[in-house]
Structures are given as structure tokens and as C-alpha cells.
Amino acid sequence: MPDLSQIVKAYDVRGVVPDQWDEPLAELFGAAFARVTGAEAIVVGHDMRPSSPGLSRAFGRGAAALGADVTEIGLCSTDQLYFASGRLDLPGAMFTASHNPAQYNGIKMCRAGATPVGQDTGLAEIRALVEEWSGSGAPAPAGTPGTITQRDVLADYAACLRGLVDLTGIRPLKVVVDAGNGMGGHTVPTVLDGLPVELVPMYFELDGTFPNHEANPLAPENIVDLQARVRELGADIGLAFDGDADRCFVVDERGEPVSPSAVTALVAARELAKHGGGTVIHNCITSWSVPEVVRENGGTPVRTRVGHSFIKGEMARTGAIFGGEHSAHYYFRDFWNADTGMLAALHVLAALGGQPGTLSELVAQYDRYAASGEINSRVEDQAGRAAAVRAAYAGRPGTELDELDGLTVTTADWWFNLRASNTEPLLRLNVEARDRATADKIRDEVLAIVRA
């Protein structure tokens, strides 16, 4: 019986094709997904990686063999698959490895209404069935196999997003978009079509080998081209999407990155105005400015652990209208609590185009503190170094410690969070303070202990 622990992660399946998984295994995953969800029908989509069409078709065959009708939506972004799952009210599977190198692929799965499937919500059972069937052979097919049909939902997805944000009255904007050869090149032209936007496309050619740069806009080196183009053209804004186009990163008219916390605060203010208040979820490494802006706009902030399963869980529990993460994931109640960078981008365009000032002037009100950004330290003894940091700050006057996610230490003038990576021997540090000098001082203090 094969051991799938290397490819079945906390929230998805991910590994190298064909070394770690291939089409026969994808077919078993499709059968297991149909069995565990008990669904009469499912929807399947895929990104632009060379292995994606074959893997997604194999998954569909596996589900159909057990009697589930399969709707293939073909090339799509991850949030487009969530849209299809929500709108059609069907469980869904998206074939993507986001920004991982070309030889990787993966599956993000959800139940009907885009509810996430993770280890505690079906993924462990799916893995167990695939391991069992890999040894004993595929399960007996249903008496009547399911049908497999194709359906294009891109226009419906674009109409859904544009129905949630009114962009008709904005002033004309020059918008540079770097799709990183990922799925944004497929979705952005349709979503922005007919709006008062002059679209300047960069790397819109779908190419899962990522010839220009890694499709991970959180890494500074991957937005250099976008920053240069925005400055060169005197554009109003730059947008960068990751490989499966569910995350969106923003740069202002100067080519400077806009903090995802500032984007979270801006969108939160707009969603609170739209809904007349409500709950907004943010994780424990977003800026102090986020809960401040939420309260100033009549909302209730709720702090959660880092990671989409925690955000989505809290959104469902609290009925929150919006959630934001510092990793540039943005979640909307109006979008089945799923994350969609495209909808966040439309909110930023609407806010920018609805007033005469520049983007840097607009976001200044949401960007109030000095932050370190996330700093990774490679350490063998994660628990030991974290304990040393805890001991250094515990009991200091005016200092609060909490362990919602790793260790957060808070004072009146600064805070930091130190947490271990789930996948690598890393400790991740985020620091924020009322001024740059203090942020740098606390950063250096903590890193000295972590790296001792």
C-alpha cells in the first residue's frame, strides 16, 4: 500500500508529476472524492500546467465510474472553480499547484457551496481510500456510470464579480496587470472588459513552465518587472496574480508595494459600508490598522490563526462579511466565504477610481505602522528557540503574551509574532511598531535569540 503522506497535505494534494503521483492515482482520487462526498454530481477545473488537463480528466473518469455526473469547466482560476462550486451547488476539484515549479501539480477540493475539504473534513478519508485501492485495485464501478460534460463558466464568473462591485462610475484608470503566465491571463481580460480601464497586460500567455518569473507575487523579486512598468508608463496601479490567480498583490502609482494589511483594511471599510456593519476576520499577523479600521467603520474584528481553513471556519461560525490575510488572500461572504483576489482587486479599483487622488494617498490612511515583513530563520530546534524567545519576554512589565498561533508578544508600542512553519524547519517572525526605529530594534532583538 503506497504512503501518500508526502503528497496529501493539510488542505490539499500536492507533489511532483509523475514521480509522486500520476493519472492513474488521480483517477483513484476522483473515485474517493465521489465516495466521501456522496455527491451525485461534481465540477472539475484546472490551471495551465502541462500535466493539468490529463490529471483533471483522469479525476473526472474516476468520479464518473462511481456514478457521479462530472461537469468539466476546463481552464480556470481557483476562485473561478469556487464560483462554479457555489453557483452550481456542487462539490469541486481544482487542479493546480499555485506558484510551485512546473513539475508540481495538486488538487484543491471543496464540498458544495465551496466549503473547503481539509484533513478533518474529508481529506483524511479520501487519502485512506486511495491508499487502500492502490493496493487492492479500483473500486467496483457503479451500475450506471456518471456523465462527463463540458461547460464554460468564465463569463458567468466575471458577471458575478462585477455584480458585487460597481465600477461603472469610476474615472478612467491605467492598470498594469502581471499574470506571471498564470491563470490571471485567462480571467482578467474578461473581468475587466468594457470597464473604464486601460489594461496593460504583462505575461498573459498561459505557460505552466513560468518562463518570466515565479508566479508568487509575495516574493519581492517577482514584482520587479511590474514595478518598473508602472513607473515607466505612469500607470495608476499595478496588480500581480499568483499562478492559480486566487491571490492578488497591489503596487501603487510610484511602483511601491501596497501592504496586504492595507488592502484588507480598505476592502473591510467598503464591505462594512455596503452591509451596514458586521464581523471582519483577520489573522494574527495582519497590521494593527486592520482591527482599528474595522472598529472605526462600525464593524467587529475577530482575530484568528494564519491559514485559510481557520479564516473560512471563523467566517462560517461568525457569519463574517469579509476576511483578509497578510498573504494576500481575501475572503468574502458574498462569494461563498471563499477567497478571491480578483474581487479584492475590483474593490481597490473602485475605491481608487471613485476619488481624484493617487493610490498611495488613498492607502496612507490604512497603512499606519512600521512593519518588518515576514522574516524566515532556518533552525533545527524550532520549539527550543521559540521557548527561549518566550522566556526572554515573559513577565516584562506592560507585555502581554498569547499563543493563539505560535507566540505573539504585545506592548503599547509594538508587537511581534513568531511561529513555526508546518512544512520546513523555519521560524517565521513578523514585527510591527509605531515607528521604524522601534520595529528594527525589536526585530534585531528577537532574531538574535532565534539565531543564537
Task: List active site positions.
Answer: 98
The helix, strand and coil proportions of the chain, stated in percent and rounded to the nearest 5, come to 40, 25, 35
Classify residue 398 as exposed, middle or buried by CB count within 10 Å of its CB (0-12, 13-18, 19+): exposed
Measured between alpha carbons, how far is 364 from 352 in angstroms, rounded to an integer? 12
Phi, psi of 414, rounded to the nearest 5 degrees: -160, 165
CB contact at 8 A, 194 and 155: no
Q: How many residues does the chain have?
A: 452
φ/ψ of residue 442, rounded to 5: -65, -40
- Grid cell in block for residue 232: 515607466
- Look at residues 84, 82, 87 and name the one whose alpha carbon lies nearest to residue 72: 84
Task: Take residue 248 and report the three cell numbers written for it.
Answer: 492578488
**How deeply is 221 buried, as exposed, middle or buried, from its count of CB atoms within 10 A (0-12, 13-18, 19+)?**
exposed
Tell me which H or E stretch contains 419.
strand 414-420
